[in-house]
């Protein structure tokens, strides 16, 4: 449609982007004499009246977002001549985060932190106004070359938090798979914490040049999210402060409640502090732990496939990083102190995990012995029915100490098998 006109005032130019739901082109607003970006919805969506109604309602909500870190929506409507629904937006001259990653691979810590902090400001404003983005990814973060501002773009699949209606119903999956929060992959309701997860993935990628989870399908991604812990950013690159690594990993927590309480402003503060070597006392392995509600998760999977039911189990903690030696002389820097503290906490977490495993083994042994006791008591009962002078000896075996339980069970077996 290059060279055409929309709504009698927007002269369409070259294409800027193409997606499954829309095409974005640069346009000139003849009325206000300025360049804008126009998003044209795919023609097949124009026949879905329910989609169009919801889209209009949510486009109005996005148009009310006026913030330096959010791409401004100027206008939207239906062009009578072409039958195309359109959105007119602020035109940003500069690369997206996806282009930055493609061209440069990754960003230095200070530059990446600036991207994350500015994106947090935009999300905080949107969340305060009841709008959840639901598709935070590098391609939707734009760098304005004019002033270095990072802007959140494309609220096209956003959801109004205070309204039950949205472009998609609960149970469907939207967004780019790699940046989907676990609750989104499960087809559950996506709140502000889902946006923080997506931004956490973006932060991990900007700092390391890689995704926290590499998966070929939505199902594989969901399984990895449940069972694995991403490798620490500080382990991938020691130049990344350990406190910053913890701050990013908190955004990747499996449980939405553990992602800064859904507060983008709190995440921004943690990331900025982390870049200076200031971080929380807790170990990152404590942050990315499991859910605290249902014992299973049902994943939507790919279209045409059956749902996958997976137990929600705590993910194994990563190996502890090598201890950081204290400085030989002089005052210890905040960064070194934070890194040494993080290493010590990771070692402590590994020890706690070892104790839990030993406890689990003892419980397993106790269970096996209990089965043996039941078999022995059953045999003794059979003997008692044929020999009247014999009787079955039973007593209660309850102890907190697994070793004492095992000892008592052995004695009980001997009493009933003499």
Q: What is the pLDDT of residues 86-126, one digit of tens each?
A: 889 999 999 999 999 999 999 999 999 999 999 999 999 99
Quick one: which of 17, 174, 149, 162 has its CA closest to 71?
Answer: 149
3-state secondary structure of 80: coil
* CA angle at 128 for the pair 276 and 77, rounded to the nearest 5°: 120
Taking the domains of the chain in order of start, what are their residue ranges?
5-90, 97-318, 357-416
pTM of the model: 0.66
3-state secondary structure of 296: strand
From residue 324, give the alpha-carbon distance in Å to each of 60, 229, 242.
53, 22, 11
Quick one: which of 97, 273, 280, 297 has its CA closest to 181?
Answer: 297
Question: How high is the pLDDT of residue 150?
Answer: 97
Question: What does pLDDT average to over the chain?
Answer: 75
Residues annotated as part of the active site: 135
Q: How many CA atoms lie within 13 A of 60 on its CB side?
A: 6
Q: Which fold has domain 5-90?
A: Phosphorylase Kinase; domain 1 (3.30.200)
Between CA 153 and CA 37 the distance in angstroms is 11
Q: Which fold has domain 97-318?
A: Transferase(Phosphotransferase); domain 1 (1.10.510)
Which residue(s) pair with 311 in the sheet? Answer: 296
* Strands (E) located in 227-320: 296-299, 308-311
Percent pLDDT > 70 in the chain is 61
Between CA 207 and CA 109 the distance in angstroms is 6
Percent pLDDT > 90 in the chain is 39
Position of tokens 């590994």? 350
Helix 242-251 / helix 192-208 crossing angle, nearest 10 deg: 140
3-state secondary structure of 85: strand
């Amino acid at each position: 449609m290059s060279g055409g006109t929309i709504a009698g005032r927007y002269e369409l130019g070259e294409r800027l982007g193409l997606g499954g739901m829309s095409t974005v082109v640069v346009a000139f607003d003849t009325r206000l004499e300025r360049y804008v970006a126009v998003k044209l919805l795919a023609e097949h969506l124009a026949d879905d009246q329910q989609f169009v109604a919801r889209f209009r309602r949510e486009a109005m909500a996005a148009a009310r977002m006026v913030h330096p870190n959010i791409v401004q929506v100027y206008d939207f409507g239906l062009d009578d001549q072409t039958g195309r629904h359109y959105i007119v937006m602020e035109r940003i001259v500069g690369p997206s985060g996806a282009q930055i990653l493609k061209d440069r691979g990754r960003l230095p810590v200070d530059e990446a932190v600036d991207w994350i902090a500015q994106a947090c400001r935009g999300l905080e404003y949107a969340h305060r106004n009841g709008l959840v983005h639901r598709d935070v990814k590098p391609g939707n973060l734009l760098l304005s070359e004019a002033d270095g501002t990072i802007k959140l773009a494309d609220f096209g699949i956003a959801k109004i938090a205070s309204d039950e209606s949205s472009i998609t119903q609960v149970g469907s999956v939207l967004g780019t798979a790699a940046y989907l929060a676990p609750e989104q992959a499960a087809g559950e309701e996506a709140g502000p914490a889902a946006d923080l997860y997506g931004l956490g993935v973006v932060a991990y990628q900007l700092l390391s040049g890689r995704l926290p989870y590499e998966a070929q399908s939505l199902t594989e991604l969901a399984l990895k999210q449940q069972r694995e812990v991403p490798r620490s950013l500080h382990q991938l690159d020691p130049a990344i402060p350990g406190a910053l690594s913890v701050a990013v990993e908190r955004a990747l927590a499996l449980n939405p409640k553990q992602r800064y309480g859904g507060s983008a402003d709190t995440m921004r503060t943690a990331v900025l502090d982390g870049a200076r070597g200031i971080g929380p006392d807790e170990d990152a392995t404590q942050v990315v732990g499991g859910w605290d509600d249902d014992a299973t998760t049902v994943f939507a999977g790919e279209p045409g496939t059956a749902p996958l039911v997976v137990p929600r189990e705590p993910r194994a903690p990563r190996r502890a990083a090598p201890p950081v030696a204290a400085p030989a002389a002089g005052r210890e820097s905040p960064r070194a102190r934070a890194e040494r503290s993080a290493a010590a906490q990771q070692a402590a977490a590994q020890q706690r995990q070892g104790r839990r495993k030993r406890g689990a083994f003892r419980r397993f042994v106790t269970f096996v012995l209990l089965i043996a006791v039941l078999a022995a008591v059953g045999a003794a009962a059979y003997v008692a029915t044929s020999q009247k002078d014999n009787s079955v000896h039973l007593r209660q075996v309850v102890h907190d100490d697994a070793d004492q339980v095992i000892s008592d069970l052995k004695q009980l077996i001997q009493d009933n098998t003499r």
